[in-house]
Structure 1
């Protein structure tokens, strides 16, 4: 059975995409810890990050770094934090979260965003990927 993320990759479920290449996809988390909270995923469905092939893991980190740098240029924050939890969806995903304090890493807190905010922010991050 396909994961939610595989359905996003296939276009069966909508997402606020910020970056994509042949192997990876980045999109805004719809239950963000902070505005700009982004998920980076491999297009190949793998349950646990440590089950990824070493080269694919390294490429995912490179892709995530590019997205994090674009995120820093797009959202005012002290830094972009990274978390790999993997319990919510059985598909490898890296959380990139704009942080101003440690409470941004508390996954029980979520900020409310409207659809137009998601759309505008996804476009802004996407546009900052080229820099």
Structure 2
């Protein structure tokens, strides 16, 4: 059975995308820890990140790096935290979270986000990615 992420990638469930290429996508999470919280996901449905092909791991981290640079501009913070947690959905995903302290990475702060807030966050991040020359921003 397809994961919820595969359904979002296929367009069966709405998603607010900031990146699409042939190997990966990135979109806003519906339960952000902080404003600007993005998920980077391989198109290939693989549950555990350490089961991914090395080339795909490299690609996901390069995409994460590009999106992190955009997040720093769109949502100024001391750092952009990166986590591979993934207990809630059996499809590898990387969390990118603007952060000013370690407490900013706590899932205890997660809240349900409204569609328009997610759409605006995605527009904001895509605008920076586009300005940085990334045609994959979608």
TM-score normalised according to structure 1 size: 0.95
Aligned-partner Cα distance in 2 for 1:26–1:3: 15
TM-score normalised according to structure 2 size: 0.90
Count of aligned pairs: 131
Unaligned runs of 5+ in 1: none
- What's the offset of the Cα at 1:71? 1.0
Aligned-partner Cα distance in 1 for 2:97–2:117: 16
Aligned-partner Cα distance in 1 for 2:25–2:18: 8
Aligned-partner Cα distance in 1 for 2:11–2:83: 25
Aligned-partner Cα distance in 2 for 1:117–1:110: 14
1:22 match: secondary structure: coil
- What's the offset of the Cα at 1:114? 3.4
| 1:79 is aligned to 2:107 | no
- Aligned-CA RMSD value: 1.1
* 2:33 corresponding residue in structure 1: 33
Query: Does the 8 Å CA contact 2:16/2:28 hold for their aligned counterparts?
Result: yes
* 1:20 corresponding residue in structure 2: 20
Query: Does the 8 Å CA contact 2:41/2:60 hold for their aligned counterparts?
Result: yes
The correspondence of residues 37-116 of structure 1 with structure 2, limited to 5 A, is: 37-111=37-111, 113-116=113-116
Q: Runs of 4+ in structure 1 displaced over 4 angstroms?
A: none
Unaligned runs of 5+ in 2: 133-138
